[in-house]
Structure 1
Amino acid sequence: MPVTTAHEAPVHRHRTGSRCRPSCPPTPEPGHRSPVPGLLAVATATGVAFGVHALVPAVNPSTVAVVIGAIAVNIGLHHPSLHVGTHVASHRFLRLAVVLLGLQLGLQQLLDLGPRGALVVVTTVTVTFTGTRLLGRLLGVPPARSLLVATGFSICGASAVAAMEEVAGGDEDDTAVAIALVTLCGSLAIVLLPLLREPLGLDPAAFGSWVGASVHDVGQTVATADRVPGALTTAVVVKLSRVVLLAPLVAGTAVALRRRTPAAATGRRPPLLPLFVAGFLAAIAVASTGLLPDPVLHGAKVLQEVLLAAALVGLGTGIHLPVLRRTGGRALVLGLMSWVLVAGVAYAGVQLTGA
């Protein structure tokens, strides 16, 4: 609840306990309003996002969803009656989308990848994650924001940011900025990477490996690789193998932060593995059994894409331009540098290993 004195504007606290600037909206309190109006608005925006994608296939629905949410909040259409529903979408739907993403994975992807491909994936993720955090420190980006950007760029965009959010312990601005950056750079990749294929001397299979190892979101990877005939299958295999590293990265980071920041000093300790990330691992195990029929897996994939787009509409309503102007400059530089880093390391890996 807002805290006021006679001499200061209301200050809100996010669910993590961090102080927020007076211009930030309060985190919605479930029970005070119905989520239905907000969820209906999210459903409408999600339908528009997929409609735009159907008309212009090169435009990813996730990108449209974030843009719709951001436009709505910045022109005053995000009415308080919608806040609870958009909050539910941005948190619960995103976590469910992460769990369902696990059903697209399986041990067979790792076997199809081979040792050289696995080396490229592990090296790219490790260098990008570590390098982005170091760059964030040099640029003076807050640690939580730097951690979320590093996770999103090194693994799988918005889904990875969601998985790391509880461990990072930042506020909702940190999440919104990280989501905006991975969405922006992933969308640019759809346009730019196919144009670079011939100058960089990549055949379709090598291009697919490069895209799978460097583009953030699964949907953005598909959209990018699909522009070059013969690249899509390799790109998807490499990308999904990269996503498998999400849970180990979250758990490893949580362990490191627990050791570095005792609970007595902070009042809380980051969870070793958020519950929905455990669900993601369980979904991978189920998919690896081969017991689920193809129609069920296809339905889960479609539902995952819809839930992700709906969640990104909700997350888009957290992108306040005044906040970005005040806090996003250094983060933008970090995001662009991380994008160059992941693309450069992945390209070098593909060229050196022939993966």
Structure 2
Amino acid sequence: MPADLAVIGLGPYGLPLAQAAVAAGIPTLGYATGPEAGSLSPAELRRMLSGGFRTTTDPAGLGRVRTVVICAPTPRGADGALDLGQVEAAARALAVRLRARTTVILESPVPPGTTEEILLPLLEQGSGMRAGRDFHLAYSPSRIDPGNRDFTPANTPKVIGGLTPACTESAAAFYARLTDKVVRARGPREAETVQLLETNFRHVNIALVNEMAVMCHELGVDLWDVIRCAETKPFGFQAFRPGPGVGGHGVPQDLTAHAGRTLRMVELAQQVNNRMPRYVVQRAAALLNEHGKSARGARVLLLGVTYKADVADQQATSAQEIAIRLMELGASVSYHDPHVPSWNVLDRPIPRADSFYEAAADADLTILLQQHRTYDMQGLSVKAQLLLDTRGATPTGAAHRL
């Protein structure tokens, strides 16, 4: 069965898109751009293969489809800016094989202006065709929430901004096969800036509540009760909850690189969120001290080392820095996570507990970093000698909360 769609990049953005496309009956070709962070269970892979999905490392297949979506990762570079190298490589691989009337859509997180200033000239120079005349070009921000069972590609609106009105409508026709609602932006820059706003909104609000957590602890105020009450307000408020840090693939952008402008609020939010792993370790050491124990030689169990509950992804997880800082204090660190069979920190394997109940009972301190569904918070609070809950998941009074 010939593919109708090619997804370039099978990481956290491309793989969910490919799954949604196959589920919608679209024969899909997956083209990997490098080591991918996405993963499939054997059952999911079987379903996709039976639905017409196949992968390739041969770029020749990119010239045989009607729609190409670029989902290449854009990690932070050494200078803190998004590294667009894989997006550019994907564009070059596609350009020499691009056919007339193909619809090309970029979904990778990029600074505003990337579609027109970087992707467009690469595609036009490599293909000898003109975007908006010979082929369609558009941007659509990826809206992926791993582990969220309430919001799927089908019921999550898709924003699209095309180079021309015809480009927008061509991209809209494709996404209408996947989602119930398509939202048309004025153009690619507006669509790119939607992604910028959505990502930064999350990071800024998490930073606010993280800073509130530190302040409330110093004041003796139960922040979790504050949030519980505040979220009853039916307007003007959205509840965010503190945690040991902010992980995931949605990189906050304090610079719109091409314009050289700084979003000061985002820059400050990054500083606040980046301090949280250190704060968690400070709280851990203080708790041990209050109970007559030193961090040096203490047995510390970390529960949940992924960046988000009920997923296996460890991208930018705060657990890494927390483990490093604990080990620097001389603590003996172990972990439990149902989604992570093995875990290395600084190239050293961290011992994995078989039973988190028994491990919590044996540990001098247990730190809940991620609340996976399989964790029984009531039972854990009873078993643990000393429990620091960074997620507010335990019953009130059953543990020390962040």
TM-score (norm 1): 0.24
Larger radius of gyration between Structure 1 and Structure 2 = 2
Q: Highest relative contact order (Cα 8 Å, sep 6+), 1 or 2?
A: 1
In proportion to residue count, which structure has more helix? 1
TM-score by length of 2: 0.22
Q: Determine which structure has the larger strand proportion and give its number.
A: 2
